[in-house]
Amino acid sequence: MPTPFDQFLNTTRTISDLEAANAVLSWDQETNMPPAASEGRAEQLATLSGVAHRMRTAPDYTGLLHDLRSDGSGLEEWQRAAVRETSRDIERASKLPERHVSTLARESALAHDAWKRARAASDFSLFRNNLRALVELKRQEAELVGYGAHPYDALLDIFEPGMTVSTLRPIFERLLDGTRKLLGTIRESGVTVDASMLHRTFDPDRQLKFAHETVAALGFDFNAGRVDLAAHPFCTSFGIRDVRLTTRIYPDDLRSCLFGLIHEAGHGMYEQGFDSKLARTPLASGISMGIHESQSLFWENMIGRSHEFWSWAYPRLRATFPEQLADVDLESFYRAVNMVEPSYIRVEADELTYNLHIMLRFEIETGLIDGSVEVDEVPELWNRRTEEYLGITPENDAVGCLQDIHWSFAGFGYFPSYTLGKLYAAMLREAIVKDLPDVSAQIESGDFGAILGWLREKLHRWGRQKSASEVIGEICGATLSERPFLDYNARKIARVYQTMP
């Protein structure tokens, strides 16, 4: 007779397999699928999601979960965590009536089309009514799910469990203040960085080969993963031993393929690092979007844009592109990939000014959800804040409030994850430097084993067993803070712009 936990695990694993099959189909859609297959693929995806949803909400299964929750005695710690996290996912879903879910899906599909047209025409009015409908639905969702102090908390919770507006606001204010001071330091230095060498012509095959070799050296396991090309880079996982990365290549921008792939490999190494006993359960996943993003940003920026890293990697890059980089020394290259310059487009922003893009979206989203900002005001508010924070004014809505896909799929609450990822990454970096005193020398010699081992031991292997605040508290002995991120940037800016902090 199987125990209740075994019964629970059986169904959980079946659901996980269905979701993995769904992920394979989605991955194929982005990488290989012929265009005429899209309608059939949509049906297949809907069928698999439907079966998984029915299994997850079946009374037998929810009853079993309820029993295991009320009496978890005899369960190991990871087993109790599996029950807790599975219940968490189901509880939220159960508060949303099917009508709400289907209306949201339909409105999102319409909004996504409208957004594409609006962005192409750079005309916010083509998207306005769709955005209004989605905001209304997400406000309803916040009421249905429930929240403490601010309705936006209910949306933040989807991506960053436990995070609230009242926690984020003061951190964002201090981050804004610190960022402005650092931008002032750069201006006062009068130093300009030349990044033009990154835009010479670089053979795509060689770029991809170099990026491959780099992420393999960092520790991405190609026996348990692979890389393909896609229009928008992403990482997806069908299991701990099957993690897929994608990247894109621009011949005239050396950064996109390499840093894009390091970024996705950061996500991928996290996915490859979960304890194998968590496989095919909800615990074999990142704690939150912010923690997931901390892993990609740690490798992309804190390792991949460090001077130590390029001391090791630059001779190899130069050997790959001897003509293009003949007149570029290590120092100039290092400064080029760390140039700070305010720009309109979030995804092209540098490490420091990136957060300013997030803050203005956070302000607009919280306002839309609590009713203090009207949809009609969005373009104006967007431009005003861009000018205030970045000192530049978007010339049209396409490079302003229409640039991001997130609102078109009702992804309110997602944007803060990016900044949280940066703050977590800097906190983790500080802890690594403390724990591994010769980490700089290791990076300079292309040895990343100790760093990856440290991340595996302290963070990856736990999967979703611990919360973000628990794991950060244990590792860093502190709560979420902007201070390590600002310190790290101050040191980098002093080096790149030849100033003293």
In the complex, the smallest distance separating the C-beta of residue 417 from Zn ion, rounded to whole angstroms, is: 9
> Which residue lies nearer to Zn ion by CB, 296 or 301?
296
Residue 44 has, within 13 A of its CA and on its CB side, a CA count of 14
> Which residue lies nearer to Zn ion by CB, 394 or 421?
421
> Which residue lies nearer to Zn ion by CB, 296 or 366?
296
In the complex, the smallest distance separating the C-beta of residue 267 from Zn ion, rounded to whole angstroms, is: 6
DSSP conformation class of 328: -
In the sheet with 225-229, reading across from the earlier edge strand, the strands are 225-229, 242-247, 235-239
Site string for Zn ion, 370-409 (x = CB under 5 A): ----------------------------------------
C-beta separation of 151 from 139 below 8 A: yes
**Assigned token pair, 425:** 């990454």
C-beta separation of 448 from 436 below 8 A: no
E strands, 64-212, are none
> Which residue lies nearer to Zn ion by CB, 333 or 424?
424
Stretch that binds Zn ion, among 271-279, 288-296, 437-445, 476-484 (CB under 5 A): 288-296
Going by C-alpha positions, the residue among 308, 314, 303, 327 that lies closest to residue 452 is: 303
Site string for Zn ion, 293-332 (x = CB under 5 A): ---x------------------------------------
Which helix (H) or strand (E) segment holds residue 228: the answer is strand 225-229
> Which residue lies nearer to Zn ion by CB, 260 or 484?
260
Residues binding Zn ion: what is the number (CB under 5 A)? 1
Which helix (H) or strand (E) segment holds residue 266: the answer is helix 254-272
In the complex, the smallest distance separating the C-beta of residue 263 from Zn ion, rounded to whole angstroms, is: 6
Q: Which residue has the tokens 């409908």?
A: 133
Euclidean distance between CA atoms 392 and 385, whole angstroms: 9
Euclidean distance between CA atoms 211 and 217, whole angstroms: 10
**Assigned token pair, 475:** 């590792």
> Which residue lies nearer to Zn ion by CB, 296 or 353?
296
**For Zn ion, which residue has the nearest CB?**
296
* From 85, 141, 160, 264, active-site residue: 264
Q: How many CB atoms lie within 10 A of CB 197?
A: 15
Burial class from Cβ neighbours inside 10 Å (0-12, 13-18, 19+) for residue 285 reads middle
C-beta separation of 448 from 321 below 8 A: no
Stretch that binds Zn ion, among 11-19, 240-248, 289-297, 405-413 (CB under 5 A): 289-297
In the complex, the smallest distance separating the C-beta of residue 358 from Zn ion, rounded to whole angstroms, is: 13
Residue 236 interacts with Zn ion (CB under 5 A): yes or no = no
Residue type, 345: I
Could you please report the per-residue DSSP string of 79-107?
HHHHHHHHHHHHHHHHTS-HHHHHHHHHH
Note if 264 is an active site residue. Answer: yes
Euclidean distance between CA atoms 190 and 289, whole angstroms: 37
| Cα Rg, the chain, nearest whole Å | 23
Euclidean distance between CA atoms 471 and 457, whole angstroms: 12
**Assigned token pair, 155:** 């949306």
In the complex, the smallest distance separating the C-beta of residue 300 from Zn ion, rounded to whole angstroms, is: 8
Positions marked active-site: 264
Residues that bind Zn ion (CB under 5 A): 296
